[in-house]
Homo-oligomer: A and B are copies of this chain.
Amino acid sequence: MSESGPDVSSTRRPLASYVGRRITPTNDSNSEENDVANFEYFGLTPRGPPNLADFLEVWNIEMHSNPEGVNRKRHHTELYDNEHLIVRRGQPFQITITFNRAYDSAKDKLWLEFLIGRYPDITKGTYIPIYIQEQLEKGKWGAIVESAWNNTLTLSIISPPHCIVGRFRMYVAVMTPFGIRRTERDKDTDIYVLFNPWCQEDTVYLPNAGENEEYVLNDFGRIYYGKFAEVTSRAWMFGQFERGILESCIYILDRARMPLQTRGCPVKVSRVASAMINAKDDGGVLVGCWDGQYSDGVAPTAWNSSVEILLLYSETHLPVCYGQCWVFAAVFNTVLRCLGIPARVVTNFSSAHDNNANLTTDIILDENGKKDTNLTKDSIWNYHCWNECWMSRNDLPPGYDGWQVVDATPQETSEGMFRCGPAPVNAIKHGQVCFPYDAPFIYAEVNSDIVYWNRQKDGSLIKGDVKTQEVGKLLLTKQIGSEGSQDITDQYKYPEGSEEDRMAQGAAIQYGVKKEQAVTEDPMDVLINMHVPERILLSTNFDVGVEIKNNSSEKRSMTLHLSGSVVFYTGVPKIQIKDKTMKVAVEPHQVYQTQVKIKSKDYESHLVEQSILHFLVSGNVTETGQTLAVQKAVTLQIPTLNLRVEGQVEYGREVTIIIEFKNPLRKPLEEVVLRIDGLDTLKPKLKLFSIIPENATLTTKELFVPWKRGPRKLIASLDCSALRQVVGELELNVM
């Protein structure tokens, strides 16, 4: 009688984790393996070693894993800098086995075994015996003989379009009368199986080739930031094909202890990854930090590439410092594209964040119509970046396939959501926020209203103005096949005020998204407007224009308060730099205009990384009590890094890159770090300049030996505590 209890001796984890609860621990890591018997005897053990001379013996296995070879070209995996065979699921690939003699289909019984993780199990899809058949069957693992020549046998193997994504190890098994004889464990025959956007039966199927080219295969991209009226962008190196990145992406899922049997589902994989990109809760990739103190890490604005971050994480197994929303989104994008899930980075301009699915952002004005900075606790992010990934949602009723929002930035909401999505973009558009995952939060990010409250002497609030068009004003992503931006606002929202918009809002409110009712006010007969120059260079003076239009046939008077603040990109004020009160009277049907001067010295020393200033003009009309309020954010233009190349750029031949930068501040820059990605192999080139004097121009040269042909991009950033987000890029065409 043998013990059938849990196999305690062979586990490396503490007992308490599974004994009594599971028969074996969960199989949740690509990097943990069980040995497989090289010879599995059938019942009776023969005396002495069995005579196996008659039976097939495997001499060699050729995986055809060369990037230029037939498998990787056909599977769109030739770009991965990796020796292993990398294939996409649901699509045949070939391997060639050399035996000691020719294969005889009538006599020889052999099969392949694919295994993943520990305790592989045939019913869980983690142990897969693959038999040689007459024909490949769609939707199932299988193999057919492609060709047999002398002692070699070339097999064509197919995986089902829903199979596990990860690193499989492979054995060849031969049946003998004494038992099953297997090849030895050989890491060279390991196979990576990825999602397949080119396969119609895969849930991530994306029919348009141009889209796949961009959303799966493009390893560079563009991230939009700044503010609605003044969009800026920077280049980013996703680098999903660089050496070590595929292993890093799989390590992230292993670190999350995601059971292998569930890794065929892109809904679950993207959800787990959204949790793991941020370090909150689970020791994930990036630590979020918004406070401007980054000296013990890298400032979020200084990164140019996901490669450095992912490699640091998988080497040290420690979260990397620091990220903000676009860094989370860029790294997440690398992971999704690397695993084969079509993905893009999206920027939502004026994002109502951290809002607990509340559709209002509250701004409190005091009795004088001036913003009460003690009572106003809400902010609108100037922009917020998240990701979209493309998949069918078989877990939902029809209508929600396609782009799904996933967000890896940790959110400070009711459920401590350090994961978010996938939420169907189409559900957001229609207010159908009752479907998983986390749709109400994303709905509120693009649809909240701004409510101005007037605080009375006794502490009570009376609702003033409600602005319904300030949030989610513009959603951008990079265009397919070009460096331009694509406006995808209409994928998230119907036109403001349309019947469909009204219906979508009704649906969202019905499903518990909270909204303040707009006040039905007397017609507003005074209009207020604010103007700021289109492009304001850092360290220059400029004027803020205020315009009051009296549409009534009576005189109107008011006390206006203009407040200017340096803000973080989250809309959180750092410091107030301007506070001006203006008494204004406007004759009937007249327009009053005034200018307020903002001086460089007022803001320069207070700026935080994104150089954003925020202005609010507010007040009450004396005669009618009407609340006037208008706010605008200004992103100051930071000078860019100027990159250029000297001479011809040829494969394998050294070229010189010249980088120029002029200090725009009226003070020296200290401890300046220049970071250039794309120059060399994986790690960025870092250069430290201890000081760049006032008004000085820095010119520095870098040597670069192109190691890949074709178009190539260098991305550079300059960072110091006084000035951040200085970026530059250079496109090269390597001959």
Copies of this protein in the complex: 2
Inter-chain contacts of A364 with B (CB < 8 A): 122-123
Known interface pairs A414-B258, A414-B262, A458-B109; A511-B42 also in contact (CB < 8 Å): no
Output the least CB separation between A460 and chain B (Å).
6
Kindly identify, within residues 91 to 123 of chain A, every residue whose CB is under 8 Å from any CB belonging to chain B: 109, 111, 113, 119, 121-123
Tell me if A570 and B20 are in contact (CB < 8 A): yes
Output the least CB separation between A519 and chain B (Å).
15
Tell me if A261 and B356 are in contact (CB < 8 A): yes
| Interface membership of chain A positions 1-39, coded 1 if the CB is closer than 8 angstroms to chain B and 0 otherwise | 111111000000001101111111010000000000000
Inter-chain contacts of A524 with B (CB < 8 A): none
Tell me if A457 and B414 are in contact (CB < 8 A): no
A281 on the B face (CB < 8 A): yes
A377 to B608, CA, bound (A): 56
Kindly identify, within residues 560 to 598 of chain A, every residue whose CB is under 8 Å from any CB belonging to chain B: 563, 565, 568, 570, 572-576, 579
Tell me if A292 and B459 are in contact (CB < 8 A): no
| Interface membership of chain A positions 319-343, coded 1 if the CB is closer than 8 angstroms to chain B and 0 otherwise | 0000000000000000000000000
Tell me if B20 and A379 are in contact (CB < 8 A): no
Tell me if A122 and B19 are in contact (CB < 8 A): no
Of A151-159, A393-401, A673-681, the one contacting chain B is A393-401
Tell me if A119 and B576 are in contact (CB < 8 A): no
Inter-chain contacts of A710 with B (CB < 8 A): none
A669 on the B face (CB < 8 A): no
Q: How many residues of A contact B (CB 8 A)?
A: 95
A453 on the B face (CB < 8 A): yes
Tell me if A395 and B435 are in contact (CB < 8 A): no
Partner of A574, one of B20, B173, B395, B579: B20
Inter-chain contacts of A523 with B (CB < 8 A): none
Known interface pairs A123-B453, A453-B123; A434-B290 also in contact (CB < 8 Å): no
Known interface pairs A180-B459, A356-B259; A20-B579 also in contact (CB < 8 Å): no
Partner of A377, one of B4, B5, B119: B119
Tell me if A377 and B124 are in contact (CB < 8 A): yes
Inter-chain contacts of A511 with B (CB < 8 A): 394-396
Known interface pairs A3-B576, A180-B458; A259-B413 also in contact (CB < 8 Å): yes
A415 on the B face (CB < 8 A): yes
A272 on the B face (CB < 8 A): yes
Known interface pairs A4-B576, A180-B459, A375-B122; A434-B26 also in contact (CB < 8 Å): no
Inter-chain contacts of A360 with B (CB < 8 A): 123
12 residue pairs of the A-B complex, CB under 8 angstroms, read: A15-B291, A19-B290, A20-B570, A21-B290, A21-B572, A22-B572, A23-B376, A42-B457, A123-B377, A123-B451, A262-B356, A265-B512
- 10 A-B pairs closest in CB distance: A20-B290, A262-B414, A4-B373, A19-B291, A21-B290, A123-B362, A395-B512, A4-B576, A20-B568, A20-B291
List 16 other contacts, CB 8 Å, given A20-B291, A262-B356, A394-B512. A5-B576, A6-B572, A15-B291, A22-B354, A22-B377, A22-B572, A121-B375, A123-B360, A173-B458, A175-B457, A180-B459, A256-B416, A257-B416, A258-B416, A265-B512, A396-B511
* Residue positions of A touching B, CB distance < 8 A: 1-6, 15-16, 18-24, 26, 42, 109, 111, 113, 119, 121-124, 129, 131, 173, 175, 180, 256-259, 261-262, 265, 268, 271-272, 281, 288-293, 354, 356, 358, 360, 362, 364, 373, 375-379, 394-397, 412-416, 433-437, 440, 451, 453, 457-461, 510-512, 563, 565, 568, 570, 572-576, 579, 608
